[in-house]
Structure 1
Amino acid sequence: MEDDEDPPLAIRIEDIPGDSPPEASSRRPDSPAAAGDSPVGVTVITGYLGAGKSTLVNYILNARHGKRIAVILNEFGEEIGVERAMINEGEGGALVEEWVELANGCVCCTVKHSLVQALEQLVQRKERLDHILLETTGLADPAPLASVLWLDDQLESEVRLDSIITVVDAKNLKMQLDEHRNSTSFPEAFLQIAFADVVILNKIDLVSDRGHLEDLETEIRNINSLATVIRSVKCQVDLLKLLDRQAYGAKNLAHLSELLEDGKSLPSSSRHDHTVSNMCIYELQPVDLTKVRLWLDDLLWEKSSNMDVYRCKGVLNVHSSNQLHTLQAVREIYEVVPAREWNQTEKKINKIVFIGRNLDLNKLNDSFRGCTVTV
């Protein structure tokens, strides 16, 4: 296995004198917890078995980033290098947890039952945290986690979904995708890429053909054109590209410039595809926001079109509004919010990218036109 490496130095929390954090991890004055009014970002780290998730977590925990980061593992295991029995069953099935403090001030725990309970306990330590990492199992579908963590800003949650990071194995990814492409059981490898905000193409040192890496990036973008693809060796990536992305913020403008491009650079094939793919629809006429919400309800909840939409992101030109509206959805959860005023130089358009299975461009275009307003 490529993931074997020196573990972070672990110290049981109860052995640390006092409640003050180690000097090496003193809080930055502009950190979210210090400010007292910003939720703590949660980054979900997923990836197929052996891709290098634990390598990434260990890299982040060992890096000199000046942040206090909490790591939650949702399975037993020794990959993270901290003591294994950090969570046990108490009397009557009660949950007994032992948190482990790492030498650089980070916190680590293992969750066997309630993710919400673990997050609540971490929030109680909020004055000591900058960020939370959640490492999933290799067979996990990240969509349910997004549903739990991505909450409306008006709920004023103490945590927020920051982004979903998927680690893929450059040496074995093509084989994994080909092996399951026509499988009756839908492959996790596709799902994890489809829901990702960032895809780390790891172990590129094991691939001698540079052209093969280009082909892999094309495969990834054919599944998810919205994700940022980063190549890496042993998951050594610039942390500024991973943390605090705020990909699910109500007014997040990531990909906005790309979405506003007049050229159709994103996929718009009319092919009816039974595998995971992404498609893009365009419409110049302004739309009625109430009709758009009803259209999303039907598309994402009722699924009357038989299309299985995993994610969508776009910009909307709303009738009688000077505000550019952004649309974002993960499975059945969606959000349409005003982001800012349209610039005078911008062409007002509706443009939505869909990622999913059994997508049909003609059906998407035809149904969306029912939301338009003739002016």
Structure 2
Amino acid sequence: FGREQGRHKQAKMAQVPVTILTGFLGSGKTTLLNYILKANHGKKIAVIENEFGEVGVDDALIKTRNANFKDSEVVFDMANGCVCCTVRGDLIEIFKKLQKRQDRFDRIIVETTGMADPAPVCQTFFVDDGVRAFAKIDAVITVVDAKHITQHLDEQKPDGVENESVEQIAFADRVLLNKTDLVSEDELLAVEQRIKAINGSVQILRTQLRADGGRDPAIDLGAILGVDAFSLHKILEAEPDFLSDAAHAHEHDRSVGSVGFRFAAEMNLGKMQNWIRTMMQDKGPDLYRYKGVLAVKGIHRKFVFQGVHMLFDGEFSDEWDEGEARESRFCFIGKNLDRQQITEEFMACTVKDSDRLRFAVGDRVQCKARGGWLAGTVIKVWDEGNPYRVKLDQGDEVWGPDDVSLYITAL
């Protein structure tokens, strides 16, 4: 009996493995996390989510895009702060809460903000006695955007400000080189050479996390989970002062900021997409990340979108639950953002109660189409997020993306 009790106590005291998921803004961390959560690995996972921005969006992206999300996979959200800076105390408090619920999960994943230096996050596991007794780092997994990483590595930072992309690669136990379909083989080899110049011992795994046709990515989760790859000895050899708080004073580039929205309003989808295209053209290099979950006028499903620099992707996902508030969440992260301009232009894409469409079903109109101005009849209003659906006299059907004379006029 005594031996059995001893074994039970030892099992109860076993440290929970923690995967630290890092990578610059838009590299694909949340996409990877969603894949892990829905994969058939038999593990119960607790997620600690951290975002850099005024409005948290990633927790909604996780739950919206993962239909198999279970109560045992708990998301603790730390928004509006960087886990390596102002909210590390929050991280410790979350570990204390998780310790009381340890029977509900087998492992923990910490997804850091794209602006985080992994060093202070890793340091937490060694400088706090409670965390050290409860959990251990399994591995630091860094997701790298093959298309944009070079410009981030080469970015000139102000004096005293570190390059987060460099730090994220330097601390990686595994690098997932993502978006390999967007660059050539020569470019991939050049990126891998840059990565190895920063971290010569790191294992690089090429991947395409958002595979064509919605297929799951071809990635072996056994190569990134349960690998026991983190080595304090290796870190101390590279950074002897790793355990010193002063060694990891972390200052962000003050030109980088966020503008976020969260409010109960529905969007004119066509108008919003046109606005985003204009933003991409005007400020693409400075738009590190933009993402959102939107309520679209006339649609019962959530519109989920994400963007990185000049790349944008959006799709309708699951339906709004009965009684769920149809609110929109949106966050821009980038350099030298004009808060007032972005706020005004975003709000101009919302559909207000006072807005009345100029035309009704059955009205005769003319629409600007590929063949010029063509006559037709309005057959539906607020269809698929657009103010008008029009059947042209020639037989085709088109959408009017906005209720303005640029697209549709009376016949």
Which TM-score applies when normalising by structure 1? 0.51
For the 8 Å contact 1:33–1:40, the answer to whether it is kept is: no
Distance 1:137 1:155 in 2: 20
Distance 2:221 2:151 in 1: 29
Per-residue deviation, 1:156: 6.4
Letter in 2 for 1:109: F
For the 8 Å contact 1:46–1:142, the answer to whether it is kept is: yes
For the 8 Å contact 1:52–1:167, the answer to whether it is kept is: yes
For the 8 Å contact 2:27–2:144, the answer to whether it is kept is: yes
Distance 1:66 1:82 in 2: 22
Distance 1:192 1:144 in 2: 11
User: SS at the partner of 2:222?
Assistant: helix
Aligned to 1:168: 144
Per-residue deviation, 1:153: 10
For the 8 Å contact 1:162–1:244, the answer to whether it is kept is: yes
Deviations 1:188-242 (A, max 9, x none): 11111111111111110111x1121111111101000121111110173211111
Aligned to 1:232: 207
Letter in 2 for 1:193: I
Alignment partner of 1:106 is 2:82? no
> Which of 78, 85, 89 is residue 57 of structure 2 equivalent to?
78
Distance 2:201 2:135 in 1: 24
Deviations 1:41-67 (A, max 9, x none): 111111111111111111111111100
Runs of 4 or more, structure 1, over 6 Å off, are 151-156, 181-184
Distance 1:83 1:55 in 2: 8
Q: Once the two structures are aligned, what percentage of the paired residues are identical?
A: 37
* 1:1-375 mapped onto 2 (5 Å cutoff): 35-75=11-51, 77-81=56-60, 102-103=69-70, 105-112=72-79, 113=87, 114-150=90-126, 157-180=133-156, 185-207=161-183, 209-234=184-209, 236=217, 237-248=219-230, 311-313=235-237, 331-333=241-243
Structure 1: gaps spanning 5 or more residues: 1-31, 85-100, 256-310, 314-327, 335-375
Structure of greater Rg: 2
Aligned to 1:282: none
For the 8 Å contact 2:47–2:108, the answer to whether it is kept is: yes
Distance 1:52 1:105 in 2: 23
Deviations 1:4-34 (A, max 9, x none): xxxxxxxxxxxxxxxxxxxxxxxxxxxx999
RMSD: 3.3
User: SS at the partner of 1:65?
Assistant: coil
Distance 1:194 1:203 in 2: 20
Moved more, 50-59 or 175-184: 175-184
Distance 1:180 1:157 in 2: 40
- The 1:249–1:184 alpha-carbon spacing in structure 2 relative to 1, beyond 3 Å, is closer
Which TM-score applies when normalising by structure 2? 0.46
Distance 1:199 1:53 in 2: 12
Letter in 2 for 1:232: T
